[in-house]
Amino acid sequence: MRQRRALAWILAAAAALAAAPPATAAATADRQQHHPSPSCPRLSGALPWYGENRERLQEVIDERGDCSGRGSLARLPRPARAGGAPVAAFDWDNTVTKNDVTDATLAWALKHDKILRPARWKATSKWLTDAADKALTGACGTDVPVGRPLPTSRDADCADEILQIREKAATMSGAAAFAGEWNHRRTVPQYAWVPQLFAGHTVDELSSYARRARAEALAAPVGATQRVGTHTLPAYVRYYAQQRDLIRTLQKAGFEVYIVSAGSEPVTEVWSRGVGVDADHTIAIRSVLDRRGRITTKNEGCGGVPVNHGEAIPYIDGKRCWINQEIYGVKGAAAWERQDARHRISIGGGDADTDVTFVGDATDAHLVLNRNKDEIMCRAYDDADGRWLVNPMFIDPLPRRQEPYPCSTGAYNEPAGGKGPVRRADGSVVPDQKDTVY
């Protein structure tokens, strides 16, 4: 959507200080020796965190922030792209907010007839099946001229098919909605499909829908639901007070804070402003615009993948790629690879398997909100480097998962779509893990 220039880091002198994270025992010793820096902004003591998570995040702020006066990163040459600052990156949906803001925007659009009829539903996604095309055509009809709004506010069948495909990757009759080949660590078709549904609109129009959906979602009581078609969906979204406080404290301490989401970028930008993160620090699915400035079904690419139809969105390894490319200026296929410690974020935060790679790349703290997602919880509970912080969701946390996470057999999301064991950097298999933070 907009061109962004990402310049490479030039911190050769910082290599030793920003080296790979220590083992658990060393990390524990570091914490025991920590002395707070009185000059650094403090996380609010009035907002509850689980266990020692607030204190451990504060340690990173004290050690890495330019407020520390301890000679850590503050006295070394600075990377131009990140303003010479350490970087923190957070997923958005269910990490910074409770509930999904892209889904909230789609629900609002369906209730207000904002989805334009495509010439062919098959053209909205390269992976959409004949069964899904037939179901959408049958449910939404052909009476509405191409490019005009579908009456989804009163046509429950049409709204239902769209929502079912988005939620379940299946039609209302249970047929698979997507088929073919894709790298399952770089994209998921139903995530890529939501921005593609808004093809024909301008970015300003989509942003206006997101603002209206945001106002309604913030006004709805916690726990409220809404009916769209015959689907019952969350009607409310809330910013997590703890995450808002963390982001603002990091910014005051000199961190560059980014949002990295697998949602639609115009939608995410509307919401990220609410925590003081601007559009230049918000990375999500970027639709390509046509000559009239309207959204198309094509996306910008990453890591050597050119303009595409959803093959390289910020999803699992794709989030690493977009961080490497947009923040650190890593070009081509190298953007898919883990970089040296000088070219990695300091703090990463997420809640789901889609976040596991970039959160794991963080050098100082891996913050995970527990939503019982297998791969990321295996990494978090294994805590290989002693820097993983698990926190229950701040609103309506999940109860304890009764069965262990299947880390040793089927928690890893394989590129081809299967499941396999989660492995550490040395190749050893992570044993099954019990759920202990809930």
| pLDDT of amino acid 39 | 79
Q: Are residues 77 and 144 in the same domain?
A: no
| pLDDT of amino acid 94 | 98
Number of domains in the chain: 2
Residue 421 lies in a domain: no
Handedness of CA 207, 212, 218, 223 (dihedral sign): negative
Residue (of 421, 386, 428, 427) closest to 52 by Cα position? 386
Q: Are residues 135 and 173 in the same domain?
A: yes
C-alpha span between 433 and 438 (Å, rounded): 14
Residue 4 lies in a domain: no
C-alpha span between 251 and 90 (Å, rounded): 13
Q: Are residues 196 and 262 in the same domain?
A: no
The last residue of a domain, from among 218, 234, 250: 234
Query: CA distances (Å), 76 to each of 30, 79, 260, 386, in order?
Result: 21, 10, 27, 26
The last residue of a domain, from among 186, 209, 234: 234
Burial class (CB in 10 A: 0-12, 13-18, 19+), 229: buried
| pLDDT of amino acid 35 | 54
Q: Are residues 255 and 360 in the same domain?
A: yes
| pLDDT of amino acid 73 | 42
Q: Are residues 309 and 387 in the same domain?
A: yes
Residue 185 lies in a domain: yes
Asked whether the beta carbons of 169 and 193 are under 8 A apart, the reply is no
Q: Are residues 153 and 224 in the same domain?
A: yes
- Half-sphere exposure (CA, 13 Å, Cβ side) for 170? 6
Q: Are residues 200 and 245 in the same domain?
A: no
The last residue of a domain, from among 365, 383, 398: 398
Residue 165 lies in a domain: yes
Q: Are residues 268 and 370 in the same domain?
A: yes
Residue 417 lies in a domain: no
| pLDDT of amino acid 69 | 61
| pLDDT of amino acid 10 | 33
Structural domain for 347, as ranges: 40-99+238-398
Residue 311 lies in a domain: yes
Q: Are residues 192 and 74 in the same domain?
A: no
| pLDDT of amino acid 80 | 38
CATH number at 82 reads 3.40.50.1000
Residue 265 lies in a domain: yes
Q: From the CB of residue 193, how many other CB atoms can be counted at a distance below 10 Å?
A: 22
Beta bridge partners of 234: 225
Residue 407 lies in a domain: no
In tens digits, what is the pLDDT along the chain, a chain of 438 residues?
444 433 333 333 333 333 334 445 545 444 545 555 567 899 999 999 999 999 999 999 999 998 866 444 443 334 434 457 899 999 999 999 999 999 999 999 999 999 999 999 999 999 999 999 999 999 999 999 999 999 999 999 999 999 999 999 999 999 999 999 999 999 999 999 999 999 999 999 999 999 999 999 999 999 999 999 999 999 999 999 999 999 999 999 999 999 999 999 999 999 999 999 999 999 999 999 999 999 999 999 999 999 999 999 999 999 999 999 999 999 999 999 999 999 999 999 999 999 999 999 999 999 999 999 999 999 999 999 999 999 999 999 999 999 999 999 999 999 999 999 999 999 999 999 999 999
User: Phi/psi at 120 (nearest 5 deg)?
Assistant: -145, 130
Residue type, 308: N
Asked whether the beta carbons of 393 and 370 are under 8 A apart, the reply is yes
Q: Are residues 164 and 264 in the same domain?
A: no
Q: Are residues 209 and 116 in the same domain?
A: yes
C-alpha span between 425 and 414 (Å, rounded): 16
Asked whether the beta carbons of 323 and 313 are under 8 A apart, the reply is no
Pairing of strands 282-285, 256-264: parallel
Tokens representing 374 are: 């297998």
C-alpha span between 294 and 299 (Å, rounded): 13
Q: Are residues 222 and 331 in the same domain?
A: no
Query: CA distances (Å), 215 to each of 205, 226, 263, 269, 316, in order?
Result: 16, 15, 18, 14, 30
